[in-house]
Amino acid sequence: MRVQLVAGLLLLVVGGLLFWNDLRERQQSPTPIAGRVPAVPLAPPSPSPGPLFVVEPEITTAEETPAVAPETPVPSESTRSPGHPVTRVTSPEVVPGPEVAPGLSPKIVLENLRSAFRNYQARFGGNPVGTNLEITRALNGANAGQAIFLNAQEDGLRVNERGELVDNWGTPYFFHQVSGKQMEIRSAGADRRMWTADDLVLR
């Protein structure tokens, strides 16, 4: 009975030593646990491969290029052929006005209109007032004495279809009453524009 007990104790001691030795070896070199991914050292970053695409400059073909007409040089007067005289082109607004009556220039017609105003002043003691249309009517008989102060044939004074007194170029006169007995009469002149350098003005 003792022999069996001693043998059993020896087996336990030997088994314990083997188990302890095996456990020690496992602690020194552990085996990977199932399901865990072993750590992998990170590789150094690789250099950038560059852009994924390259933008190339657009190439415009001759068909796509818009055609630009070359500027035509204007020849100077010194380079023109002597056989081809220089042609001056004037604006239709700056044409000389026709003479209303033979020998009556725009200045003479303006003087005649001033005389009509003076005759009206002498008759009624002052100037007619109002717009060009109202003044024209007063000078042409629509006044207290029904006196007519405009003579188109002799004085060159003419009235347009709207009933306004106009200058030699067909532009209505501008009347400005400076005082009861002084009237400023302005013609737009050859350019047919008021308040420019070629205006004709009388008082």
- Residue 138's pLDDT is 96
- Residue 199's pLDDT is 95
- Residue 136's pLDDT is 96
How far is the C-alpha of 13 from the C-alpha of 17, rounded, in Å? 6
Tell me which residues of the chain have a pLDDT lower than 50: 35, 51-55, 62, 65, 72, 74-97, 99-100
CB neighbours of residue 199 within 10 Å: 15
Q: Which residues contact 195 (CB under 8 A, 6 or more apart)?
A: none
- Asked if residue 177 lies in contact with residue 127, where contact means CB atoms within 8 angstroms, the answer is yes
CB-count exposure of residue 145 (10 Å: 0-12, 13-18, 19+)? exposed
CB neighbours of residue 124 within 10 Å: 14
Condensed to tens digits (0 to 9), the pLDDT of residues 28-77 reads 655 555 545 555 555 555 555 554 444 455 555 545 545 555 554 544 44
H/E run at residue 187: strand 182-187
Domains located in the chain, CATH noted: 101-202 (3.30.700)
- This prediction's pTM: 0.51
